[in-house]
Structure 1
Amino acid sequence: MVFGILFTILWASGAVSVKFGLLSAPPLIMGTIRFLLAGILLLSYIYLFRKGKYRIPKKHEWKPLILLGLFNTSLYLGCGFWALRTVSSGFFNLAVVVNPFLVALLSSFFMNRFIQKKEWMGMCVSAIGLVIATYPLLQEGHATFSGIILLLIGMISMAIGSVYFQKQKLQLPSLVINAWQVLFGGVILIIPSILLELDEPFVFDVNLIIYLVWSVLGISIFAMILWFYLLKQDAIKANIWLFLTPIAGYLLASILLGEEVTIYDVIASLCVFAGLYLSGNLRINRSTKPPVEKNLKVQ
Structure 2
Amino acid sequence: MPASPLSDRRVVTLLALFCCLLWGSAVPGVKIGYDLFGILPSDTSSLVLFAGVRFSLAGLLLLALSLLRRRPVGVTPRRLGQLALLGLISTAGQYALFYIGLAHTTGVKVSITTSTSTFFSVLLAHFIYANDRLTTRRALGCVAGFAGVVVVNLATDGLDFTFAFMGEGLIAIAALMFSLGAIYGKRLSADMDPALMTGWQLFFGGLALVGAGLATGGHLGQVDWQSLLLLAYLAMLSAAAFSIWSVLLKHNPVGQVAIFNTAIPIFGVLLSALLLGENVLAWKNLAALILVSMGIWLVNAVRNAPPVAAPRP
Report the TM-score range of the alignment, normalised by the length of the smaller protein.
0.7 to 0.9
Amino acid in the other structure paired with 1:102 = F
Deviation digits for residues 219-249 of structure 1 (CA, Å, limit 9, x no counterpart): 1245557768999999999878654332221
What is the distance in 1 between the residues matched to 2:177 and 2:249?
24
**What is the rounded CA distance, in whole Å, between the counterparts of 2:61 and 2:80 in structure 1?**
19
Which residue of structure 2 lines up, in the alignment, with residue 116 of structure 1? Answer: 135
CA deviations 1:59-86 (Å, max 9, x no partner) are 3321221111011111111111111102
Offset at residue 120 of structure 1 (A) = 2.1
Which deviates more, 24-33 or 125-134?
Answer: 24-33
Measured in 2, the distance between the counterparts of 1:206 and 1:239 equals: 36
1:172 to 162, 177, 192: 192
Alignment of 1:63-82 (within 5 A): 63-82=81-100
**Bigger Cα displacement from structure 2, 228-237 vs 183-192:** 228-237
Aligned to 2:7: none
Who is 1:126 aligned against?
Answer: 145
Residue 20 (1) aligns with residue 38 (2): no
Q: How far has the Cα of 1:156 moved from its partner?
A: 1.5
> 3-state SS of the aligned residue for 2:278?
coil
Q: What is the CA–CA distance in structure 1 between the aligned matches of 2:277 and 2:100, rounded to whole Å?
A: 20
**Cα offset, 1:145, TM superposition:** 3.5
2:57 corresponds in structure 1 to 37
> Structure 1 residues 141, 30: closer, same or farther in 2, change over 3 A?
farther
Query: Alignment length, in residue pairs?
Result: 283
1:129 touches 1:269 (CA, 8 Å); kept in 2?
Answer: yes
Determine if the alignment matches structure 1 residue 163 to structure 2 residue 183: yes
1:252 aligns with 2:271: yes
Deviates most, 162-171 or 269-278: 162-171
Give yes or no for contact 1:126–1:274 (8 Å, CA) kept in 2. yes
Query: 1:6: how far off?
Result: 6.0
How far 1:147 moved relative to its partner? 0.8
Aligned to 1:297: none
Out of 23-32 and 229-238, give the one that drifted further.
Answer: 229-238
Normalised by the length of structure 2, the TM-score is 0.75
User: Percent identity at matched positions?
Assistant: 23
The aligned residue for residue 93 of structure 1 is 111
Contact 2:24 2:267 in 1 (8 A): yes
Structure 2 counterpart of 1:266, from 286, 293, 309: 286
The separation in 2 between residues aligned to 1:179 and 1:248, in whole angstroms, is: 25
TM superposition score normalised by structure 1: 0.78
Moved more, 64-73 or 108-117: 108-117
Identify which of 184, 191, 198 aligns with 2:211. Answer: 191
- RMSD of aligned C-alpha atoms? 3.8
**Is 2:71 the counterpart of 1:59?**
no
